[in-house]
Chain A
Amino acid sequence: MAEQVTYIEAISQALREEMKRDEHVFILGEDVGIYGGAFKVTKGFLDEFGDERIMDTPLAESAIIGVGIGAALVGMRPIVEMQFIDFISSGFNQVVNVAAKYHYRTGTPLPMVIRGPSGAGVSGGPYHSQSPEAWFCHTPGLKVVVPATAHDAKGLLKAAIRDPNPVLYFEHKYLYRRIKEVLPDEDFVTPIGEAAIRREGADVSIITYGAMVWESLAAADSLAGEGIDAEVLDLRSLLPYDKEAILGSARKSGKVLVVTEPSLSYGPGAEFAAFIGEEAFEYLDAPVRRIGALDTPVPYSTSLEKEYLPGREKIAAAVKELAGY
């Protein structure tokens, strides 16, 4: 099948295939059934799987997550959908205090996925554009994955569903219909905790994830003409993250730029930069630099949002500066 599949179609495929593969898998969330999901990810699922396995819930994020946890405790494998990941904060307590700590405290596994669209660049304003991964990366017991390609959107979602732990799956709404790839026919899983090199280079390493992978690639392409050879490492998983891959890239170039979409301060980038500073110090030929969004809520107006977000120009400028250090 040489047909190209979009990032969002890849998500639907993964959901459908896993629902078929294991009858314990079920989806619950707002508007997932009758409406097929706010972004139509579960269009047609209600007819195919029925209204118990495709559960249209009341508007109650904390209960939705709590119900998912209860169901997971007794043998089901729930996929909780947050209509926008921004709303996960309404159920924050259930995620970080119940789900995350459950196995550590009791020895009972809690297999569940919480997924939803995250990310900015679509004029969503402060409440439809967040990338809150840092809150959850800082919570032991959870796993956090962030696919950047259609291939990984499918592979990581399958891995998340099959993982016996609570996994947060942040799909980037900007990438939903902007990426198209040909996917393998056979069943495949992208392992959690493994990064992928998207572009090899030896001058500067860009460590990044999500939509910023594409911005970084664009930046790298624009610099190739100037003789700067940048490597782009797509982390794919934030918790756990691929320490070996990061170190390998850092040691190779000695110059590292960490690019993340959420606000710079206290973001995931700080973790990677600190890690590189500790473990690859003797290989560094320049200070480790980070790029992130400004330390403000995500603004609504296009002119403001553009200024707020990192992008290819800012990334290219930083890479160039590092290369010349």
Chain B
Amino acid sequence: MAQTKVIMPQMGESVAEGTVAKWLKQPGDKIEKDENILEISTDKIDVEVPSPAAGYLIDILIEEGQTVEVGTPLAVIADSVDESAAAKQAAPPKKEKKAEKAPEPEAAPKPVEEKPKAEKPAKADEPVDKRKFYTPVVLRMATKHDIDLDSVDGSGMGGRVTKKDVLRFLEERKGRAEAAAPAGERAEMPAMVLDGSEEIITMSNVRKRTAEHMIRSKQTSAHVTSMQEVDMTPIARYREAVKDEFRKQNGFPLTYMAIITKEVVETIKEFPNINASVDGDKIIVKHYINIGMAVALADDTLIVPVIKNADDLSIRGLARAIYDLAHRARNRKLTMDDIEGATFTITNHGLFGSVFGTPIISQPQVAILGTGAIRKRPWVVGGDSIAIRDIMFLSLTYDHRIVDGSYGGRFSQRLTERLESWDPSRM
């Protein structure tokens, strides 16, 4: 059943409606295509409207003298007259623009009492108690770290609690918590010798915290480290070729770490249980991948900023993130957000020349990957030949409570495979 509607045309950009002036055809009339079937009148001009199709005029929807909006159907044209009966049922009821509005709903009954005309003084004139004025960042941090803002001293304008105040509060709270945590058994300190042959250095907070964490980690996890040799030559060659251009284009370098991190992330996807933490007798496997990167600071202390959602980043994105975090770490500009939430850590002990390592797991994670220095070595390639290749050793420490030798070993093996088969299309 082929029907075509005749619609009210728009005669000019500002014209919104038109009036049906005169119907030149009547229902039942045969119509040729482009034959004029009605006259319309608009603000700008009176014109005839040609039929958009050939057939029979079966229904007139808008009567002469009525004004309708542009686009309103005016009539229906059908292929054949037989359809006129069916079409009459399908045709929309005749509408008149003025009658289109639905009747107004009953007005709500007026309130019994009239509100007093005098208005209350505007809120803006009332002084705001700044002590209780919390900005978005302060509220967010309070929620995240479960802080009762009433107990935080405010140093801002009018006694306002500022972001710095919250950060300071957190530092102090953490310090108090660690002081209260049970320390492992320590050997007794030998009596001090005051003859100048020994020096007493008071531990800084960072040092204390690191010490606590390391010993606690060793006491918590069943540390096993296994090593893998990796032929990094394809990666090394690519990096050599493009590193200058990359740096110029991007303002940050393309490091081995960026590429290795990418492959670690991809391998974690295949071995999800290595991206987990332990809680009592439960293993919590994380579906997000936050990679901690160990950074050594100028004073030889260690900090581990985190690349959040590393699986969302390309190699270039990882390179940027690594550069940014390392830079901020060295300038002491990391935020709480930056050092929390890692699910897997990479430590580049090779930076200091070592080829193998036995890294300590960062609790509550279940594994940590150490990357050794990349050295040129004579290596067996293609079965029987010797070539000089860029070789790196991976040292994967895993928690044997959670990760068995075979799982950890296969993770290492797969990572090695991925690194050895690397090609630039993975950029």
Contacts and interface: CB of A to CB of B under 8 A. Distances in A.
On whether A and B touch (CB less than 8 Å), the answer reads yes
Interface of A: 188, 191, 194, 200, 202, 248, 252, 254, 281-286, 324-325
Given A252-B333, A325-B157, A285 B248 contact: no
Interface stretch (B33-41, B46-54, B133-141): B133-141
Given A188-B248, A324-B157, A325-B157, A286 B333 contact: no
Contact of B138 (A188, A191, A194, A285): A285
A-B interface, 8 closest residue pairs, ranked by CB to CB distance from nearest: A285-B163, A282-B136, A282-B140, A285-B135, A283-B137, A285-B137, A254-B137, A254-B163
14 contacts: A194-B251, A200-B331, A248-B324, A254-B163, A281-B136, A282-B137, A282-B140, A283-B140, A284-B135, A284-B136, A285-B162, A286-B135, A324-B157, A325-B162
Interface residues of B, number: 17
Nearest to A244: B320
Contacts of B248: 188
Interface string B132-174: 0001111010000000000000001100101100000000000
Contacts of A254: 135, 137, 163
B51 to A, nearest CB: 34
A282 B163 CA distance: 11
A238 B160 CA distance: 35
B249 interface: yes
A188 B249 CA distance: 9
Interface string B65-93: 00000000000000000000000000000
Given A191-B249, A284-B136, A325 B163 contact: no
Residue of A202, A252, A284, A285 with highest tally of chain B CB at under 10 A: A285
A83 B156 CA distance: 50
A261 to B, nearest CB: 26
B335 interface: yes
A202 B333 contact: yes
B90 to A, nearest CB: 41
A165 B136 CA distance: 40
Given A194-B251, A200-B331, A284-B135, 4 more contacts: A200-B333, A254-B135, A281-B136, A285-B162
Contacts of B157: 324-325
Contacts of B249: 191
Contacts of B251: 194
B278 to A, nearest CB: 31
A188 B162 CA distance: 43
Determine chain A's interface SS by DSSP, over half rule: loop
A131 B326 CA distance: 38
Contacts of B335: 252
A187 to B, nearest CB: 10
A281 B136 CA distance: 6
B137 A284 contact: yes
Nearest to B158: A325
Contacts of B331: 200
A160 B268 CA distance: 43
A73 B163 CA distance: 54
Nearest to B134: A285
Contacts of A285: 135-138, 162-163
Contacts of A191: 249
A200 B251 CA distance: 16
A286 B333 CA distance: 20
A277 B364 CA distance: 36
B392 to A, nearest CB: 32
Interface string B379-418: 0000000000000000000000000000000000000000
B105 to A, nearest CB: 37
B333 A283 contact: no
Contact of A324 (B137, B138, B156, B333): B156
Contacts of B160: 325
A191 B247 CA distance: 13
A303 to B, nearest CB: 33
A311 B156 CA distance: 26
Contacts of A286: 135
A251 to B, nearest CB: 8
A200 B102 CA distance: 63
A156 to B, nearest CB: 14
Interface in B318-353: 324, 331, 333, 335
Interface in B222-266: 248-249, 251
Contacts of A325: 156-157, 160, 162
Contacts of B333: 200, 202, 252
